Every structure is written in C-alpha cells, then in structure tokens.
Amino acid sequence: MSVPYKYPLSRTTAQFRKHITRAALAVATSMSSLGQTGTINIVQACLRSFTMQESTPLTYQRSKAFCNAYGLTAKDIYRFTPKFWKMHREALVALDGGAFTLFVIQCNPFASTLAPFAMKRPELQPVLQAALGFNVSAQFVLTEVNHGLDARSVQTTAILCEMESLISILLPQTMQR
C-alpha cells in the first residue's frame, strides 16, 4: 500500500489560505445575487457541481486570492525574479486551472507588456497596480473581434517606434469596441 505524498505547505500557501477566506465572503455575495444563499468555501467547492454562471465568480475570486497571496510587483514581472518563477510552480494551481490561467494571463501577456512602460511613465502605474492586485481583468489582451481566442488568425500589428510609442494597425472588422 502506497502512502500519498504530502506537499509541504509553503509560506505562499498559508498566505493563499488567508486571502481565500476573505475572497469567500465576496463569492458568497456574488452567489446570493444569483439567488443562492449560504456560505461557499472557495477552496473546497468543486466547480463541476456549479453551472457556468455560478462557477465564473468563484474562479475569479480564487484567481484574485492567488494574486494577492503572491503580491507580485512590477519589478518581479519585469526582471523575472525567483518569486515570479515560483508562482508558476505552485502546487495550488491544481485547485482551479481556470483561476490559475486567469492569474497567469494577468502577469504574462498584460503586466509584462505594461511593466517596462510603467517604469518610465508614472500615469501607467495605477493601471499596472490594478492588474497586479487583480482589481481589473486583463483577459481582453488575448482577443480580437471576429477571432475570439484564435491567436493564429489575429490581424492586429503593433510597431514600436523610436520614441517608444506604439502604432497599432487594425483592420476595421477586427477593432475592439
């Protein structure tokens, strides 16, 4: 008979549990707006037992709790610090793959694109901080009208000019509204 391997709790795991408890209250509020009452444990709740409409707020709250537990900074994202890489190897990703995917999208395509510019332009700092605190959702960066998440067919081109400004070349049918 084999003994199951017990993954040692990291400090981040303990922080995640603290943030997840706070997030549970927000999820309970979201769920009550859907007509459900009671408290939901967002760690133990099985997404398969919920409808898509019910599981979406739960996944976003888990992602926000994961984001707050790590507390990544612009420097972590820009310099790929050990804290940044550790986040990608955390065992807690098995809890909810969707929540982890949302978190990784916040950090990789959105925050890592914005971080170098935010370091030089203070007006971008609040946007970056909002993304790193998961106060905004940055999944829009992966989409294009008429293509959805079909990255191979994306037709938007961005060109970095000498003065470090971006020029986007969009076809009218692909512009986000």
* 151 domain-assigned: no
Question: Domain span at residue 34?
Answer: 14-140
Full-prediction pTM beyond 0.75? no
Find tokens 């905004």 and name the residue.
Answer: 136
* Residue 32 in this model has a pLDDT that exceeds 50: no
Residue 46's pLDDT is what?
A: 55
Per DSSP, the three-state class of 114 is helix
Angstrom distance (rounded) from CA 92 to CA 94: 5
Inside any domain, residue 128: yes
- Residue 107 DSSP label: I
Within a domain: 161: no
Looking at the predicted structure, is the pLDDT value of residue 130 above 70?
yes
Q: Is residue 26 part of a domain?
A: yes
165 assigned to some structural domain = no
- CA–CA separation, 109 vs 142, rounded Å? 8
User: What total of structural domains would you count in the chain?
Assistant: 1
Mean pLDDT for 58-80 is: 83
Contacts of 18 (CB under 8 A, 6+ apart): 69
Q: Is residue 7 part of a domain?
A: no
Lowest-pLDDT choice from 18-22, 53-57, 108-112, 136-140: 18-22
162 inside domain: no
Higher per-residue confidence, 130 vs 54: 130
Residue 115 lies in a domain: yes
